[in-house]
Amino acid sequence: RLSPPSQPTTTFGFQVRSDRDKFVIFLDVKHFSPEDLTVKVQEDFVEIHGKHNERQDDHGYISREFHRRYRLPSNVDQSALSCSLSADGMLTFSGPKIPSGLDAGHSERAIPVSREEKPSSAPSS
């Protein structure tokens, strides 16, 4: 018996992982190009915004927009955050955690989204 192909449960599938060494967000943004995405850290939160203007798809015309906001763990090293977009549309935002006792600097700044040519290795849930 063949099982049907797995579909994401929501338009914007996501996964957040926080382990001892790092904090990672995987976000399915396959309908957005890097120019459509803004990633910004403000104090203890990362805000990810995507918006594209009306374009044609199989059913007519569609425009999309989303905002997601995640609280960063207090021990994430905000000076070492990174964000990349894989060829298959998976955005990966990550930051290493610093050992307790050291100070993590917190301020507002934009995080550039780099484009990768290979598909992501993020698990599809």
Rounded to the nearest 10°, the torsion over CA 123, 65, 78, 92 is: 20
Hunting for tokens 């992982």 — which residue is that? 17
Structure tokens of 102?
């050291």
43 marked as binding residue = no
31 marked as binding residue = no
* Cβ atoms of 38 and 53 closer than 8 Å: no
Give which of 107, 85, 92 is closest to 36, Cα–Cα: 85
Rounded CA-CA distance 51/61 in Å is: 14
Residue 1 CA to chain centroid, in angstroms?
Answer: 35
67 marked as binding residue = no
52 marked as binding residue = yes
- Known binding residues: 52, 54, 59, 106
- Numbered residues of the known binding site for Zn(2+): 52, 54, 59, 106
